[in-house]
Structure 1
């Protein structure tokens, strides 16, 4: 074998090694991100801060918090993050998380008007999250005329209203009472 051929073989193995190493690093990074996203998605993480306690207490009393006949519980991110794409989900999670850390550590927590924030719930609850779990809503309401008519404009995409604009207390049973305490 000539010296030139040996160099080409070594270069080929070097390139293959770089790709294999890059693949392993990429997989480890992806696994780390997936674990991090999962660990920061539930009520245990989201309610660590004292300011979230009223929301946690009302959530546990709600059907979405497990207070239902099946014991099914939605995670905080099921409602409070978009589910239209992975990129949007991760972007919004990072943006919201950084905002919350900043406010929790450097903000004036006593000045937060939680009742006023409730008026803007459509900014904090995403229809794609609702529809991720309630994908069969149109079929499920077809046998209930009253429910079907109430959702008809939504099904036909003739309204800009968000789910939470009609379902004002969804996710947090009597939240206003918990906020006042």
Structure 2
């Protein structure tokens, strides 16, 4: 209170805070707060990253029987699992983007798969899985078409291919794909997993149902492609 009996207004919160921070105690408190906050951030980020990567391992992917008994069983013995070079592509290598943003988007979308596993049990038997196989495969083909087969190109890229070392038909097809701007999934379907039953007959129907924007590979396979695919199916 002033000499004339008039109350002096109390300084505002930010002014009082500023005055406190200007003192040695304030500087120490601020430093301690920043240290604790920074340390907590590191611990949180490390824990989050560790948990994220734990869900990005093949062991996690096949921890549910729907994957282990169906698509993983088909993957075993393929060139992506065992080959002369020893380079192995696991589930996340092909189905989870490596870039942070797309990876998080994929992880968020994967929560729907958890719902299907625990709640609706939409593919919990081999029969249910086969009924859904074409739609499940089409969803993945659509995703890869949108991203220009990004995961495939982590290992296979046109600019690093030496066509002279490839079998004649493969070299010609790769050159055509390069010239026409095609992407890996346009031609390479069913390379690690069985193709759905009725694939050739139902393909155009699925394309129309999915989007109608030609985001799926080869919306209308030509007769040559159909013959080659049928030969492949008959050999399985």
Report the TM-score, using the length of structure 2 for normalisation. 0.60
User: Which residue of 96, 107, 127 corresponds with 1:93?
Assistant: 107
Unaligned runs of 5+ in 1: none
Q: Is the 8 A contact 1:78 1:129 kept in 2?
A: yes
Larger Rg: 2
What is the deviation of 1:117?
2.4
Cα deviation, 1:24-51, whole Å, max 9, x if unaligned, reads: 1121122112221221122221112121
Describe the shift of the 1:16–1:133 C-alpha distance in structure 2 as closer, same or farther (beyond 3 A).
Answer: farther
User: Which residue of 79, 95, 114 corresponds with 1:63?
Assistant: 79
Answering whether residue 205 of structure 2 is matched by residue 165 of structure 1, we say no
User: Which residue of 108, 129, 142 corresponds with 2:151?
Assistant: 129
RMSD after superposition: 2.8
1:44 maps to what in 2? 59
Q: Distance in 2 between matches of 1:28 and 1:176?
A: 45
Unaligned runs of 5+ in 2: 1-18, 198-236
What secondary structure does 1:58 align onto? helix
The alignment covers a number of residue pairs equal to 167
What is the deviation of 1:124?
4.9
User: Which residue of 103, 117, 139 corresponds with 2:136?
Assistant: 117
Q: Distance in 1 between matches of 2:178 and 2:38?
A: 43
